[in-house]
A and B are shown apart, each in its own frame.
Chain A
Amino acid sequence: MNRYWSVLFLLVPIGGVATFIVAPYFNMGLPRDVSEHGHVIDSLFMFILYLSGAVFVVTQLVLFYFSWKYEQGSNDQPVKYSHGSHVLEIVWTIIPAITMLFIAIYQMEAWATAKMQPPDIRPLVEVTGRQFNWDFRYPGPDGELYTADDFVRTDGKLYLPVDEEVLLKITSADVLHSFFLPNLRLKQDIVPGMDQSIWFKATEKGGYDIVCAELCGWGHYKMKGRVFFLSADEYEAKLEEMRLDENTMRVVQDDTLDTDE
Chain B
Amino acid sequence: MSTVTADPHSDAHADHGHSGGFLSTYVFSLDHKVIGLQFLFSTLIWFFVGGMLALGIRWQLAFPWRPMPILGDLLGAAEGGQIAPENYTMLVTMHATVMIFFVIIPVLAGAFGNFLIPLMIGADDMAVPVLNMLSYWFMWPAFALIGASFFVEGGAAQGGWTSYPPLSVIAEAAPGSLNGQNLWLLGVTFVGIASMMGSINYMTTIIQMRAPGMTMFRLPMTIWAMFITAILQAFALPVLTAAGFMQVSDRLLGTGFFLAEGAMANNSAMASGGGQPLLWQHLFWFYSHPAVYIMILPAMGMVSDILSCFSRKPLFGYKPMVYSISGIAGLGFIVWGHHMFVSGMNPMLGMTFMVSTMMIALPSAIKTFNWLGTLWGGHIQYTTPMLFAISFISMFIIGGLSGIFMAATPVDIFIHDTYFIVAHFHYVLFAGTAMAVFGAIYFWYPKMFGRMMNDSWGKVHFVLTFLLMNLVFYPMHILGMQGFPRRLADPYHYETFRNLLPMNQFISYAAFILVGLQIIFVINFFGSMFFGPRSGRNPWRSNGLEWQAPSPPGHGNFDFQPIIYRGPYEYGSPEVEEDFYPQNQPPPEAK
Contact = CB atoms under 8 A, between A and B. Distances in A.
Contacts of B18: none
B266 to A, nearest CB: 6
A31 B482 contact: yes
B166 A77 contact: no
Interface string A24-68: 001111110000000011001100110010011001101100110
Interface string B297-327: 0000000000000011111111110000000
Contact of B405 (A5, A48, A101): A48
A187 interface: yes
A79 B344 contact: no
Interface string A214-230: 11111111101000000
Interface residues of A, number: 96
Contacts, number: 330
A79 B378 contact: yes
A49 B401 CA distance: 9
Given A28-B478, A176-B164, A187-B414, A45 B354 contact: no
Contacts of B382: 2, 5, 71
Interface string B485-527: 1011111011110011001000000000000000000000000
A70 B408 contact: no
Interface in B146-178: 158-160, 164, 166-167, 170, 173-175
Contact of B164 (A8, A93, A215): A215
B45 interface: no
B358 interface: yes
B269 interface: no
A30 B381 contact: no
B380 interface: yes
Given A174-B166, A180-B483, A41 B387 contact: no
Interface in B302-360: 311-320, 342-344, 347-348, 350-351, 354-355, 358-359
B408 A44 contact: yes
B81 interface: no
A78 B86 contact: no
B466 A71 contact: no
B460 interface: no
Given A5-B387, A71-B380, A111-B347, A187 B88 contact: no
B397 interface: yes
Nearest to B174: A217
Interface stretch (A119-127, A144-152, A189-197, A231-239): A189-197
Contacts of A189: 342-344
Contacts of A141: none
A133 interface: no
A185 to B, nearest CB: 5
A249 interface: no
Given A96-B365, A220-B488, A12 B394 contact: yes
9 contacts: A48-B405, A52-B404, A70-B380, A108-B351, A176-B277, A178-B342, A194-B344, A196-B344, A218-B84
Interface of B: 84-86, 88-89, 92, 158-160, 164, 166-167, 170, 173-175, 259-266, 273, 276-278, 311-320, 342-344, 347-348, 350-351, 354-355, 358-359, 361-362, 365-366, 368-370, 372-373, 375-382, 387, 390-391, 393-394, 397-398, 401-402, 404-405, 407-411, 413-418, 463, 466-467, 470, 474-475, 477-479, 481-483, 485, 487-491, 493-496, 499-500, 503, 569, 571-574, 579
Given A62-B372, A215-B160, 7 more contacts: A30-B483, A67-B380, A72-B380, A77-B377, A100-B362, A108-B351, A112-B351
